[in-house]
Amino acid sequence: MKFLVHTYGCQMNVRDSEAVEALMLAAGHEKAACEDDAEIVIVNSCTVRQKAEEKAVGKAGNLIAAKKITGMMGCAVKRLGEGIFAKLPKLDFAVGPRALGMIPKIVADGRFPRLELGDDMMSRALAAHVEGGFQAFVTILVGCDNRCSYCIVPDVRGHEYSRPAREIVAEVRALAARGVAEVCLLGQSVLRYGARNAAWDDADAPSPGGYTEAFPRLLEALASIPGLRRIRFTSAHPKGCTDELFRACREFPQVCRHMHLPVQSGSDRILADMGRRYTRAEYLAAVSRLREFDPDFAITTDVIVGYPGETEEDFEATRSLMEEAGFDNSFVFKYSPRPGTRSAAREDDVPTAEKERRDQVLLADQQSRGLRRNERLVGSVREVLAEGPSKRNKSRWSGRDSGNRIVVWDVAQGDCPPPGSPVKVRITEAHAQILVGERVE
Ligand code: SAH
Ligand code: SF4
């Protein structure tokens, strides 16, 4: 059958959708060219905020109305459970985030409606990839045990589990062998890799460099894979910024100089209430260490505005923290109470208009800060992995540097580098979200 997967939400969902595509292809189905052409559409849903969930449910409703065989997967399915069929009575199937490996069998059985919420994370499903492209996401850790007060993720993605290092290394080796030059290691808190369950076992050869922590040791193992040029990872936490992590960054040039380090708030009172397990000072200390290590180290973050009880003073603390940290980019979220989380028991007392205002203020701050951060790079030569024609200007090529910054440059005819090839670009112009330059040899 011709199928399509429509994805909402984070990179973890993007990765899960890819795994489902690969499993569907392996089961003999064919990817549709467009939605009209598809007989079956699977909506991969997000539920981190109410709005995100509504979008996915709305999309599934439209597909049902268009008479497609409609399935849903992902986080909203797990949150709603049976309730998803109350919202979408004609939905054919719904599969939770840890049961996605069952989708081909459910489609083959064709007994609808069907709901699967169980934990059936077969390693085959976790490791399935679609051919093509020079970049790949690789899940190293599923679930989360942190239980931040506002967050639904632990409820819907279950307990934290680190995949065995041997499986991950084999997966990345296979990806590199077929042309993948850049991997991004995924997990809710990747620096906790190996904290809950052993990721390395006694049968594994000891670390040649004497690494004892599981995540740096994984970086070491991946850095020895031929053809792999870049290793990214997301998300990180200040507690994981250890000496061994810094040593691995220094020792292995493949490890990218970028960390997505969600801070959520700059107010100690709010951070404690959220259960983030760091103070403002501890967070800023981690940022300083990264920037001492490399002043161009790119640091990006997530922030929540309008958390219950967030005063003007708390908000200003977030603003000043963002300035002190000098974030290269930031993603601002308006607080959305999620049923069953600790903070949902409290009154959602910051008015919507005020959340909107705080969001706009932080966005404007980020625009000027991003520009200032990028201006420092004018005149420098960045190594970029070419991606393809720039979206806005087709006579320009686009790629990213180690810090995940978008870099564009003019290309002459016949001079278009293939995707994944390294190019040196001297930066001539800085913008808040993009660097412009010229190719140098
Ligand atoms: N595991 C990651 C975050 C995953 S959720 C981490 O802790 O680093 C992605 C982002 O969504 C979070 O960083 C947070 O900023 C935002 N978010 C999570 N729950 C939210 C809620 N209830 N309301 C608004 N934003 C939320
Ligand atoms: Fe886990 Fe906290 Fe991240 Fe939610 S915000 S996924 S609870 S670490």
Please report, for the chain, the start and end positions of each structural domain, with discontinuous segments joined by +: 2-116, 123-373, 381-440
Task: Compute the distance between CA of residue 354 and CA of residue 57 in angstroms, rounded to an integer.
Answer: 27
Nearest to 76 by CA among 92, 94, 93: 94
Nearest to 269 by CA among 334, 235, 318: 318
Return the best residue to mutate from 46, 188, 263 for the ligand 2 pocket (most ligand atoms within 8 A of CB).
188
Task: Compute the distance between CA of residue 409 and CA of residue 403 in angstroms, rounded to an integer.
Answer: 17
Residues with a CB atom less than 6 Å from ligand 1? 48-49, 150-151, 153, 188-189, 235, 262, 264, 302, 304, 333, 335-336, 338
> pLDDT for 114-128, tens place per residue?
999 988 766 678 889
For range 384-404, the mean pLDDT: 93
Question: Ligand 2 center to residue 66 CA distance, Å?
Answer: 36
Tokens (6 digits) for 364:
């404007």
Task: Compute the distance between CA of residue 149 and CA of residue 328 in angstroms, rounded to an integer.
Answer: 27
List, edge to edge, every strand of the sheet that includes 135-139.
Answer: 135-139, 182-186, 230-234
Nearest to 303 by CA among 277, 272, 270: 270
- Closest ligand (CA of 156): 2
Burial of 43 (0-12, 13-18, 19+ CB in 10 A): buried
pLDDT at 414: 75
Tokens (6 digits) for 3:
């199928």
For range 237-241, the mean pLDDT: 97
pLDDT at 413: 75
Q: Does domain 381-440 have CATH number 3.40.630.30?
A: no
Question: Ligand 2 center to residue 151 CA distance, Å?
Answer: 6
Query: Taking a C-beta distance cutoff of 8 angstroms, is the pair 104, 121 a contact?
Result: no
CATH topology of domain 2-116: Rossmann fold (3.40.50)
CATH superfamily of 123-373: tm_1862 like domain (3.80.30.20)
Question: Ligand 1 center to residue 173 CA distance, Å?
Answer: 31
How many angstroms from the chain centroid is the CA of residue 79?
20
65 three-state secondary structure: helix
User: Looking at ligand 1, which residue's alpha carbon is closest to its atom 2?
Assistant: 188
For range 232-246, the mean pLDDT: 97
Confidence check: pLDDT of 200 > 90: yes
CB of residue 156 inside a 6 A radius of ligand 2: no
pLDDT at 121: 61
Question: Ligand 1 center to residue 97 CA distance, Å?
Answer: 17
Relative to the CA of 188, which ligand 2 atom is closest?
6
Return the best residue to mutate from 10, 46, 48 for the ligand 1 pocket (most ligand atoms within 8 A of CB).
48
- Between vectors from CA 61 to CA 60 and to CA 62, what angle results, nearest 5°? 90
Question: Ligand 2 center to residue 241 CA distance, Å?
Answer: 17
CB of residue 153 inside a 6 A radius of ligand 2: yes
- Closest ligand (CA of 48): 1
Relative to the CA of 189, which ligand 1 atom is closest?
1
Return the best residue to mutate from 46, 144, 343 for the ligand 2 pocket (most ligand atoms within 8 A of CB).
144
Question: Ligand 1 center to residue 61 CA distance, Å?
Answer: 26
Return the best residue to mutate from 304, 335, 350, 355 for the ligand 1 pocket (most ligand atoms within 8 A of CB).
304
Question: Ligand 2 center to residue 115 CA distance, Å?
Answer: 26
Quote the percentage of the chain above a pLDDT of 70. Answer: 99
- Closest ligand (CA of 145): 2
pLDDT at 125: 83
> pLDDT for 271-325, tens place per residue?
999 999 999 999 999 999 999 999 999 999 999 999 999 999 999 999 999 999 9
Q: Whole-number mean pLDDT of the chain?
A: 96
Task: Compute the distance between CA of residue 117 and CA of residue 97 in angstroms, rounded to an integer.
Answer: 8
Confidence of residue 393 (pLDDT cuts 50, 70, 90): confident
pLDDT at 122: 64
> pLDDT for 330-362, tens place per residue?
999 999 999 999 999 999 999 999 999 999 999
- The neighbour count for residue 91, using CB atoms within 10 Å, is 24
Question: Ligand 2 center to residue 149 CA distance, Å?
Answer: 9
Task: Compute the distance between CA of residue 184 and CA of residue 138 in angstroms, rounded to an integer.
Answer: 6
For range 361-367, the mean pLDDT: 98
User: Looking at ligand 2, which residue's alpha carbon is closest to its atom 8?
Assistant: 146
Quote the percentage of the chain above a pLDDT of 90. Answer: 95
Contacts of 186 (CB under 8 A, 6+ apart): 11, 12, 15, 137, 138, 139, 140, 141, 233, 234
Relative to the CA of 10, which ligand 1 atom is closest?
9
Confidence check: pLDDT of 49 > 90: yes
Query: Taking a C-beta distance cutoff of 8 angstroms, is the pair 130, 24 a contact?
Result: no
- Closest ligand (CA of 302): 1
